A and B are shown apart, each in its own frame.
Chain A
Amino acid sequence: MSNNYKLVIKPKTSLFDFSIKEVWSYRDLLLLFVRRDFIAVYKQTILGPLWFFIQPILTTLMFMVVFGGIGKMSTDGMPQAAFYLAGIVSWNYFADVLKATSETFVQNANIFGKVYFPRIISPLSIVISKLITFGVQLFLFLLVFSYYLFFTDSSIQPNWYLLLLPVLIFLTGGMSFGLGLLITALTTKYRDFRFLIAFAIQLAMYATPVIYPSSMIEGKMKIFITANPMSAIIETFRYAFLGVGNFSWGGLLYSFIVMILFIIIGVLSFNKVEKSFMDTV
C-alpha cells in the first residue's frame, strides 16, 4: 500500500493540468485499446484484414474511371494507379484519425461514465491503431509502386526525400489528432459539429491535392490549396516516391506550425471538457 498516495478531487482545475506521467502509467491500457480496435473491426468477416486493401483499391479504381478516365484530369504524367493511391493512402490516415477522434466522447460515453482513466488515452489509441491501418495500406501502395518502378518504363523517380516519410506521418497524425480533440470537445454539448464533421472531411479531400496535382491549380485557387496544411504533406509524399509535385520546406514548416497549434488548442479544450462531460453528453 502506498501510504503517501494522495488524490484530490476538486471542481475545476486549471486548463494546463495535464499529467504526462499519469498517461504513461496507463500505457498498457493504450496498447490494449489499440489491439481491441484492430482486432475487433474485422472479427467475423471472411476477408478479415484484407478489407484494409479492398477499400483503397476500389477507391483508386473509382478515381481512375471518374477523374482520370471521364474527367481526364492530369496526374503529372504519373501512372494513374500510383498517383491516386499515393494520395488516398496518406489522406485516409488523416481522415480516419480525424473521424474517429472527433467522436471520442460520444462513442465512449458508456465507458467514460463508469470508470476513470485519462481520457486522452482513447484518442491516442486511435492515432496508433489507424497508424497500423496506414501501414498496411502503405504496403499496398509499395506493391503498386514497385510494379511501376520495376516492370514498366514510367518516369517514377523515388528520391532521398523518402527519408521524410516518418515526419510526414507524424505531421498527419498530429494534425488530425489535435483537430479531432478540438471537435470532440465541442461535440459533447452541441452535437451540431458531429453532422458537420462527416461531410466536412469529404469536402476537405477535394480542397487537398488528393485526386489532382497542386501544379494543376492556378491563380486565386492556389492560395486556398497552399493554405491547406495537408497539401504540403501529400505533395511531399508524392514527390518523395514519384518524383513529381511541388515540394517546399516552407510548406512543411507551415504544416508543422499548424499541427502544433492544433495540438495545443485540441488538448486544452479536451482537458477542459473531460472533467465534467458526463453531465452534458
Chain B
Amino acid sequence: MNPIVEIEKVSKQYRLGDVGTGTLSHDLNRWWHTIRGKEDPYLEVGDVNDRSVQGNSEYVWALKDISFNVNPGEIVGVIGKNGAGKSTLLKLLSRVTAPTTGTITAYGRIASLLEVGTGFHPELTGKENVYLNGAIMGMTKSEITDKFDEIVEFAGCARYIDTPVKRYSSGMYVRLAFAVAAHLEPEILVVDEVLAVGDAEFQKKAIGKMKEVSQDQGRTVLFVSHNMGTIKQICNRCVVLEKGQVKFDGDVVEAINLYNRKDIAEGEANKMSISIPLEKNNYPDEVIFKQCTLMEGNHVASDEVSDINEVSVVIKGEIIKPNRNLIVFVSLFDEYNNLISVNDVFENSNITPEDLVPGEFTLTAKLPVDEFLPRNYRINISSVIHYQGWALKEDEINFDFRFIKTNFSHPVYSESNFPMTGKSKPGYLNTSFNWELVYEKN
C-alpha cells in the first residue's frame, strides 16, 4: 500500500527572542547572501530545541529532519511533551506555515482541526457561521447545504441555529464548531486536542466520529493529544516526538510507556515523588525500608496511571531481626484526603508474619485497576511495629496520581477522565457487589 502522506526530512527553524532591530540586520545579511547566490547564513546555526537549557543560538530547530509515512486509513497519534514539536508538525501539515527544509507530500486533501470554530464570528448566527466556517475549511456552499441538517443534529443545537453565536454557551459553541469540522470530507484529517472540550456525552460522540471517519470511510487521521487514554482508544499507531525529532514510531502502548517513562527520566515529574528512596529509618535494628515505588508495567509510573499495564506498589527493604509485630500497609485516599481503603500486608494476602526472615526483600502489591475510577487518588505507604511505633511514618510516602481508564464502558457514564468537565461515575471505587434478584411468587 502506498503511503498517503510522506514526510521527508522536514525541518522548521524559528528565531528566538524579539523581532526588533536585530531582525533587520539579519534580514539584510540574509538578503545580501541571497543576491550573491549563497546559502542562507542562518540555516547553518540553530540549536536542538530543548527549552529548559539556555541555548547559544538565536535560532532553534522546532523540528529537525522529521521523516515518517502515514498509510491510508491509519489513525496516527503524535505525542510528546510540550515543545517537542507536535504543534509545529501539525502547522506544517495544515499549511499554516511552510517548512524551512524538507518536503511533505500528501495524496489527498488535508483538513486541519487545530482549533474548532476558526473564523466563527460572534455577531453572526449559528447558521451563518456554519457556512462561513465550512467554507474556511475548504467546503463549497453546496456541500455545506447538503450536510447542514446533519451538522445541526450532531451539534444538538437546532433551537439556537438562528441566534448569534455570541449568545451561545461555550459548550454549545464548541459543539457546533466541532460538528462542522466533523462533517468535512478530506482524505486526511489533522486534529489537535480539540476533543478536550464539551461534556462527556459530546466527547464520546466526537471520539466515535473520529473512529467512524477512519474505519468506515477509510480516511487518515493524525491526532495530537496529551490524553493518553484517548490516544490508546482511537489510534492504531503512535509517533513520539522529542526535542523536534522522532523518538519512536510504532505500537501505541509501547509509545505511551516510552512517553511516560521519559517524563520521569527528565525529572518532569520529580515533584510527584513516585519513586522514593529512604535514608533514615526509625528501627534500623529490626527493619530497614530502602525504596518505595509506584510501578506501571515494568517501569516507574508517572503522575498519570492508566489501566493499560499492571499497576503496583513496590517496597524494597531488609529485615534485620524478624519481629512478629511488624505490619506494612497501603492506604488509598481521594483527592480531598478522605481515606477510602486500607490494605494490610498480612490481612489481605497469604503472607504471614512467619514469612519474615532476615534478608533483603521486595514486597509488591498489585492494584486492582478494574476497581479504580477515572479520578485523582493518593496512595500512602506506612509501616508500624505494634506497641513500639512507626517503622515507616504515616506522612512520609505518598504517591499522587490520576487514574486513567482506557476501556470503561458504562450505560450511563462515559469514559470521560477526571478532571474534564463532565460526568464520570460518582464514587471512588468501581467495586462489584453480588446482586441477586428474586421475585415473590403468588
Indicate whether A111 sits within 8 Å of B104 (C-beta atoms), given known contacts A32-B135, A36-B128: no
Residues on the B chain within 8 Å of A117, using CB: 136, 138
Q: Mark A104-127, 1 if CB is under 8 A from B, else 0.
A: 000000111111110000000000
Instruction: Answer whether residue B199 sits at the interface, using C-beta atoms and an 8 A cutoff.
Output: no
Instruction: Answer whether residue A78 sits at the interface, using C-beta atoms and an 8 A cutoff.
Output: no
Contact partner, B104, options A8, A40, A112, Cβ 8 Å: A8
Instruction: Answer whether residue B118 sits at the interface, using C-beta atoms and an 8 A cutoff.
Output: yes
Instruction: Answer whether residue A157 sits at the interface, using C-beta atoms and an 8 A cutoff.
Output: no
Instruction: Answer whether residue B14 sits at the interface, using C-beta atoms and an 8 A cutoff.
Output: yes
Residue of A nearest to B131 (CB): A32
Residues on the B chain within 8 Å of A43, using CB: 123-124, 164
Residue of A nearest to B14 (CB): A279
In the complex, are the beta carbons of B98 and A275 less than 8 A apart? yes
Contact partner, B136, options A115, A275, A277, Cβ 8 Å: A115
In the complex, are the beta carbons of B128 and A11 less than 8 A apart? no
In the complex, are the beta carbons of A10 and B98 less than 8 A apart? yes
Closest beta carbon of chain B to A8's beta carbon, Å: 5
Instruction: Answer whether residue A197 sits at the interface, using C-beta atoms and an 8 A cutoff.
Output: no
Q: CA A113 – CA B132 in complex, angstroms?
A: 17
Q: Mark B49-62, 1 if CB is under 8 A from A, else 0.
A: 00000000000000
Residues on the A chain within 8 Å of B94, using CB: 114-116
Instruction: Answer whether residue B141 sits at the interface, using C-beta atoms and an 8 A cutoff.
Output: yes
Instruction: Answer whether residue A2 sits at the interface, using C-beta atoms and an 8 A cutoff.
Output: yes
In the complex, are the beta carbons of A1 and B164 less than 8 A apart? no
Indicate whether A115 sits within 8 Å of B118 (C-beta atoms), given known contacts A10-B99, A11-B99: yes
Instruction: Answer whether residue B309 sits at the interface, using C-beta atoms and an 8 A cutoff.
Output: no
Binds A, one of B78-86, B109-117, B417-425: B109-117
* Interface hub of A36, A114, A117, A190 (most chain B Cβ within 10 A): A114
In the complex, are the beta carbons of A5 and B109 less than 8 A apart? yes
Q: CA A9 – CA B109 in complex, angstroms?
A: 12
Q: CA A276 – CA B93 in complex, angstroms?
A: 13
Q: CA A90 – CA B180 in complex, angstroms?
A: 40
Closest beta carbon of chain A to B126's beta carbon, Å: 14
Q: CA A189 – CA B15 in complex, angstroms?
A: 12
In the complex, are the beta carbons of B187 and A9 less than 8 A apart? no
Residue of B nearest to A189 (CB): B19
Residues A251-281 near B (CB distance < 8 A): 275-280
Instruction: Answer whether residue B28 sits at the interface, using C-beta atoms and an 8 A cutoff.
Output: no
Residue of B nearest to A188 (CB): B19
Closest beta carbon of chain B to A27's beta carbon, Å: 9
Contact partner, B100, options A2, A11, A189, Cβ 8 Å: A11
Residues B115-146 near A (CB distance < 8 A): 115, 118-119, 121, 123-124, 128, 131-132, 135-141
Residues on the A chain within 8 Å of B414, using CB: none
* Interface hub of B132, B164, B218 (most chain A Cβ within 10 A): B132
Instruction: Answer whether residue B233 sits at the interface, using C-beta atoms and an 8 A cutoff.
Output: no
* Interface hub of B15, B100, B135 (most chain A Cβ within 10 A): B135
Q: CA A111 – CA B102 in complex, angstroms?
A: 25
Closest beta carbon of chain B to A175's beta carbon, Å: 28
Indicate whether A280 sits within 8 Å of B109 (C-beta atoms), given known contacts A43-B164, A114-B114, A117-B136: no
Closest beta carbon of chain B to A6's beta carbon, Å: 6
In the complex, are the beta carbons of A278 and B91 less than 8 A apart? yes
Indicate whether A275 sits within 8 Å of B97 (C-beta atoms), given known contacts A28-B140, A111-B118: yes
In the complex, are the beta carbons of B141 and A28 less than 8 A apart? yes
Indicate whether A12 sits within 8 Å of B107 (C-beta atoms), given known contacts A36-B124, A39-B123, A115-B137: no
Indicate whether A9 sits within 8 Å of B114 (C-beta atoms), given known contacts A39-B124, A279-B14: no
Instruction: Answer whether residue B95 sits at the interface, using C-beta atoms and an 8 A cutoff.
Output: yes
Q: CA A116 – CA B118 in complex, angstroms?
A: 11
* Interface hub of B27, B115, B136, B187 (most chain A Cβ within 10 A): B136
Instruction: Answer whether residue B412 sits at the interface, using C-beta atoms and an 8 A cutoff.
Output: no
Instruction: Answer whether residue B106 sits at the interface, using C-beta atoms and an 8 A cutoff.
Output: yes
Instruction: Answer whether residue A205 sits at the interface, using C-beta atoms and an 8 A cutoff.
Output: no
In the complex, are the beta carbons of A5 and B128 less than 8 A apart? no
Q: CA A196 – CA B128 in complex, angstroms?
A: 35
Q: CA A35 – CA B119 in complex, angstroms?
A: 13
Indicate whether A114 sits within 8 Å of B14 (C-beta atoms), given known contacts A5-B107, A9-B106: no
Instruction: Answer whether residue B171 sits at the interface, using C-beta atoms and an 8 A cutoff.
Output: no
Residue of B nearest to A8 (CB): B105
Closest beta carbon of chain A to B162's beta carbon, Å: 13
Closest beta carbon of chain B to A165's beta carbon, Å: 31
Residue of B nearest to A281 (CB): B19
Q: CA A110 – CA B118 in complex, angstroms?
A: 8
Instruction: Answer whether residue B24 sits at the interface, using C-beta atoms and an 8 A cutoff.
Output: yes
Residue of B nearest to A112 (CB): B96
Residues on the A chain within 8 Å of B138, using CB: 26, 117
Instruction: Answer whether residue A46 sits at the interface, using C-beta atoms and an 8 A cutoff.
Output: no
In the complex, are the beta carbons of B121 and A40 less than 8 A apart? yes
Instruction: Answer whether residue B101 sits at the interface, using C-beta atoms and an 8 A cutoff.
Output: yes
Indicate whether A1 sits within 8 Å of B119 (C-beta atoms), given known contacts A115-B137, A189-B19, A276-B97: no
In the complex, are the beta carbons of B107 and A40 less than 8 A apart? no
Q: CA A43 – CA B105 in complex, angstroms?
A: 43
Instruction: Answer whether residue A7 sits at the interface, using C-beta atoms and an 8 A cutoff.
Output: yes
Q: Other than A5-B109, A189-B19, give 13 A-B pairs with Cβ distance below 8 A.
A: A5-B108, A6-B106, A26-B138, A32-B131, A40-B123, A43-B123, A114-B94, A114-B118, A115-B112, A116-B112, A117-B136, A277-B97, A278-B97
Could you show 23 A-B contacts with beta carbons less than 8 Å apart?
A: A1-B218, A2-B108, A5-B107, A5-B187, A7-B109, A8-B103, A9-B106, A11-B100, A26-B135, A32-B132, A36-B128, A43-B123, A112-B96, A114-B94, A114-B112, A115-B94, A115-B96, A115-B112, A115-B114, A116-B96, A117-B136, A189-B19, A278-B91
- Using a CB–CB distance below 8 Å, which chain B residues touch chain A? 14-15, 19, 23-24, 27, 91-110, 112, 114-115, 118-119, 121, 123-124, 128, 131-132, 135-141, 164, 187, 218
- Using a CB–CB distance below 8 Å, which chain A residues touch chain B? 1-3, 5-12, 26, 28-29, 31-33, 35-36, 39-40, 43-44, 110-117, 189-190, 275-280
Q: Which 4 A-B pairs have the closest CB atoms?
A: A116-B95, A29-B135, A9-B104, A43-B123
